[in-house]
Amino acid sequence: MFDLFRFVLLRPAGTREPHEIISTGDDTDFQQQLERDRERPSPGGRMEKTADRFLESPRAVTRGDSLAFGKAYDALSTSLQAEAPANRADLPRIEALLARANDMPYDLVRVAEEKCFGAGVAGEPEVRVYGDFDGLSVTCGSWLRILAVDRPRRRQGVGAALLRDAESRGVRGIAAEAGNYFTPGVLEPEFFVRRGYRETARTQNLETTELPVASSQLPDVQLATGNRQQVLTFIEHHFGKIWRFEASRGVLFFTQRDGAITGFAAHEANNRGLGFFGPTGVAESERGKGLGTKLLLACLADARRLGHQRVVIPWTDAAGFYAKACGARVADRFVVMRRD
**pLDDT tens digits for 180-223?**
999 999 999 999 999 999 999 999 999 999 999 875 567 889 99
Q: pLDDT at position 82, please?
A: 62
Range 81-110 average pLDDT = 94
Q: pLDDT at position 44, please?
A: 60
178: pLDDT strictly greater than 80: yes
Range 267-288 average pLDDT = 98
Of residues 277 and 82, the one with the higher pLDDT is: 277
Which are the contacts of 335, defined by CB distance < 8 A and separation ≥ 6?
185, 186, 187, 189, 199, 201, 202
Q: Could you tell me the domains of the chain?
A: 8-75 (no CATH), 85-201 (3.40.630.30), 210-309 (3.40.630.30)
292: pLDDT strictly greater than 60: yes
Cis amide linkage into residue 184, ω under 30° from 0:
no
6: pLDDT strictly greater than 60: no
Q: Are the CB atoms for 218 and 294 separated by under 8 Å?
A: yes
Arithmetic mean of pLDDT over the chain: 85
63: pLDDT strictly greater than 60: no
3-state helix, strand, coil in the chain (%, to 5): 35, 25, 40
Q: Read off the pLDDT band of 14 (50, 70, 90).
A: very low
Give CA–CA dist 57/155, Å, rounded. 35
Percent of the chain residues topping a pLDDT of 90? 71
Listed range (38-52, 66-80, 84-98, 147-161) with the worst mean pLDDT: 66-80
Q: pLDDT at position 219, please?
A: 81
Give CA–CA dist 302/319, Å, rounded. 21
Q: Are the CB atoms for 102 and 123 separated by under 8 Å?
A: no
Q: Read off the pLDDT band of 33 (50, 70, 90).
A: confident
Q: Read off the pLDDT band of 45 (50, 70, 90).
A: low
User: What is the SS3 assignment for 257?
Assistant: strand
Range 222-244 average pLDDT = 97
Q: Read off the pLDDT band of 18 (50, 70, 90).
A: very low
Q: Read off the pLDDT band of 48 (50, 70, 90).
A: low
